[in-house]
Amino acid sequence: MFHCTQIFRKGVFSIAASPQLSFNQSMNRRAFLASSAALLEAPNLLAQLAGDRPKHTGGVKVLNPRGRVPVSLIIDDSTCLANLAHFCIPQFAEVFPDRYKQPWKTLPREIPDAFVRKFGEWAQEHGVKGKYSIIPNPACVGWLDRDLPGWSKAELRESIKLVRTLLPPNWDFHPEMITHTWIINTKTGRPYDERSEKFMENWGWTDGKSADEIADYMTYALRILKNIGIECEGVTTPGGFGNRALPALSQATLQSCRDVFKAEIPHYFRHLYTDDHSVAPRVEYASGIDGPDPRCVVSIIGCTGDWFGGWDGLEAGSVDKFITEDLKSGRMVEVVKRGEPAIMVCHWPGIYFNGQEIGFNILKAIVQRLNAAYKNLIWMKLSEIARYWAAKELTRIENVGGKIQLHAPFACPLFTLEVPNGKRTLTHNGSRIEPKETLGNMLCFDLPKGLTEIS
């Protein structure tokens, strides 16, 4: 029987063979080593359920969108104006004084909107897509739907307007729970009095919590973002939030995102792997896929550590860890070769890197090298990847009377199949669907919800 030890320098998770705590300053957030598979595969208590799955008898294969490899970027620890590293380090140190000795007072208290605009415009120009966290009450500094002490009401209003208008359609928004530090009592809106890891979002609060209890907490976060006009289809977990309550975490995401935003396919970011584990999205708790109210939740998995600038903006990263100058090796090369979504993970303070923009420059170099190395990539938001994998796994495909029938619980743009030669005519409810792309046996089209026939 192994002993699970949860240890965090801003979210490091490890499983140790003994209860003795350890700490690795060089490890990146969410780093799941090979040993973490034991936790995910533990029976009953920790195993999420796949749910319903259809049978496939159509003799066709679902490919990646347009036959390409999805690429994306997850940005954590972002919010409006406040530099989370500056404000959260002293709160982490209150519980773990021996671990958090960074010179937080020397870090800038603000990541300015001018940098947000610069980044957002660059991303639009280069087609870079992904997820951008908006922490609703960053490190308990203030509420985005009320006041953010240290900034005027007008400054807060303009910052919210900027992310709401500039970043879509390239970026999904997620709450990264409520504060990323202390747990908030959702009945009072105030942190609990106890100062321990049990009452920090990054650590042990979710242990033993039910799906309803976690959903209540997520709902509180989602409603704040809804109050300021930020739409969400998913959530990001801060640090170790949900690590030892994975089934409840998954179900709570499904429940809260549907309740607050009527999200058809909720998704969440909890895991990343930098070893040989699959990083394909996991479609969980699928139900009602042949009925009027199909449901599922998708776990999006990152494939890199934060090799940009660190969560505190103090550890400069390396382009070569993602893709080397000769374009032949690096983590992105490994994952692209496997054909799985290559989703990079970074933290906003490290992209800004205290005004030096070191993480941002690393990202620019990565994109330049990826463009030089590949012609078969497609940048996608997390919600787009989640929808594609839900359609890929839950669409029932049958061969009926020489026709291929697709029974889709969810619509999906750029749905791509490998079909027998000559199968090119698409119809839905008697209307012709024009393919987006055909190449050899590959057929790409926008899949409608319901029955589509290929003949």
Mean per-residue pLDDT, 218-245? 97
Domain identity same for 364 and 441 = no
Nearest alpha-carbon partner for 73 in 219, 166, 174, 221:
174
| 447, 395 contact by CB (below 8 A) | yes
- Percent pLDDT > 70 in the chain is 89
Phi and psi at 223, nearest 5°, equal -65, -35
Domain identity same for 193 and 152 = yes
* 56 falls within a domain: no
* 41 falls within a domain: no
Mean per-residue pLDDT, 397-413? 94
Residue 21 has pLDDT above 60, yes or no: no
**pLDDT per residue over 439-450, tens digit each?**
889 999 999 999
Structure confidence at residue 154 as a pLDDT band (50, 70, 90): very high
Please give the DSSP secondary-structure letter assigned to residue 48: P
Structure confidence at residue 423 as a pLDDT band (50, 70, 90): low
Last residue of a domain, one of 363, 387, 411: 387
Residue of 8 and 370 predicted with greater confidence: 370
Domain identity same for 277 and 423 = no
- Cβ neighbors of 47 (< 8 A, separation 6 or more) are 40, 41, 246, 247
Domain identity same for 424 and 341 = no
* Number of structural domains the chain divides into: 2
| 362, 308 contact by CB (below 8 A) | yes
Residue 23 has pLDDT above 90, yes or no: no
Whole-structure pTM value: 0.91
pLDDT at 1: 28
| Cβ density class 131-157: b for 16+ within 10 Å, e for less | bbbbbbbbbbbbbbbeebeebeeeebe
Mean per-residue pLDDT, 261-274? 98
Cα gap 185→129, rounded to integer Å: 34
> What range does the domain containing 424 cover?
395-454
Domain identity same for 382 and 436 = no
Domain identity same for 104 and 183 = yes
Domain identity same for 167 and 225 = yes
* 47 falls within a domain: no
Domain identity same for 309 and 431 = no
- Percent pLDDT > 90 in the chain is 85
**pLDDT per residue over 310-343, tens digit each?**
999 999 999 999 999 999 999 999 999 999 999 9
The CATH number linked to 310 is: 3.20.20.370
Residue 258 has pLDDT above 50, yes or no: yes
